[in-house]
Amino acid sequence: MSSTLILLFSLFLLASPSSSSSSRPHHHHHKPSDSPRLNPSSSTASQIRLACNATRYPDQCLSSLSQPGLVPLDPKPSQIIHSAISVSFKNLETAQSKLKSILDASVGNLNRTNAANTCLELLSYSKRRTLSVDHALTRGRGRIKDARAWMSAALVYQYDTWSALKYVNDTTQVGETA
């Protein structure tokens, strides 16, 4: 089961468009910190490093999960995964906020307005799927396949968002978001 969780964890990190966020959904009870350095125990740091080495982007993973207070001391694999979900969730909220700004600034540009509206809709679907992943993992062992499918769907929605934005990349604001 541990290898399945690590594989699932690697999928979560693909959903992270930025490695600088450290907050998580409101239902978690850890207080995030603004410090970017890894400061947990050496055991926790090595567990994070081991999990991140199993991902597609180990450096981004390590940077994302190294925020003090994000991952509990001596975490179980599931706790590392929940921390990754929280990073993904926060990054989704950041992307939605940037897209709302793009939409507000796109008056007079129908292509950018349509792309921003489509992207906001896609990210809302991704957010729902990401929450479904978190709920599936907290309900027990039988839901791992569901969690993997939902995370895959969340990633597809995010990729589609990026794809739509790259075609209307006519401002620095769009370029920074995409």
- Could you read off the pLDDT of 137-169 as tens digits, one per residue? 887 666 888 888 998 999 899 889 888 887 776
DSSP 18: -
Residue 35's domain spans which residues?
2-177
| DSSP 8-state class, residue 30 | P
Interatomic CA distance for residues 111 and 132, integer angstroms: 32
User: Given pLDDT bands bounded at 50, 70 and 90, which one contains residue 173?
Assistant: low
What is the number of structural domains in the chain?
1
Report pTM.
Answer: 0.69
